[in-house]
Structure 1
């Protein structure tokens, strides 16, 4: 078993909210198209999350490659769609998760070309009773992958992830 450790900058108090958001999501998320948490460290000068290392690299590394066939792209799309469906609508939870940062970089590819979603530090948890209502937030996504409706509404819904998914592919 290989592992990956992700450090958060804690020297200036940065990353505390992102660290807690990531742990909260990963500790309750069990899906074949999402990374799996092994543990974390939250010490005075060290914040780190340890996950299974299940990747050969991010989609961003491969997306413009002519070696990535249409069949492989479709498989990645389906895997990511399953991961998004799981975080948005998993019946085992009373909340949905809005990832808020779907780009080609937080989509890892394993040795079989399966998509693995990670990087939940900007995610928002929203009660399933309010899943279609706008959740106010300061969005941190990448320009070009962000739903223009955010400017009008001042917040996000799970539709942000769907919009960003479409832009990536």
Structure 2
């Protein structure tokens, strides 16, 4: 647990700063209440800049049944990944028995409050539902989780375009800590194209490819007698 917490040490903020921002958790600063506890608003410095900005602070209240697992899971997920339909986590505080999560402030207020606007059309409401579903899918769908594992790796280790495309197209996530390690994995062969193609790149840069019969039977993947690939530089072979 200590090593896990150390990974997110840079996101910690002192309780005294939160108390100043919320006027010691004054009820006048409460903007919401949910299964985690009360949500306050206040102005904080949450980056290298000394300029303060409005944030939302979610204060854990254990009487609602939530606790450490939910708190750390929220930090792990929302500080690492970005999605247009998710509120980003900026900071957290764990001090003097308090567990507080700090998010970017939603300029239009909470979703439940926004949906009470009688002027919203049904089309707008449906689009809101779809956008919310996309955000939830990004966090919970197994296929989306694989895409988050790959994008996370790529963002930390810049790759040549061809290798990046192979990583993104691999059926199973490729785990590596260096480009040389990745090249070693690919030289042994990687399954891509939704398990329809096996691809290997030798030390000489030669592309060896094996196409499974399912790929040939699926006409949607065939175009101009060439199968689709993650990179146009990969020469097809049969």
| TM-score between both structures, scaled by the size of structure 2 | 0.34
Q: In proportion to residue count, which structure has more helix?
A: 2
| TM-score between both structures, scaled by the size of structure 1 | 0.46
Larger radius of gyration: 2
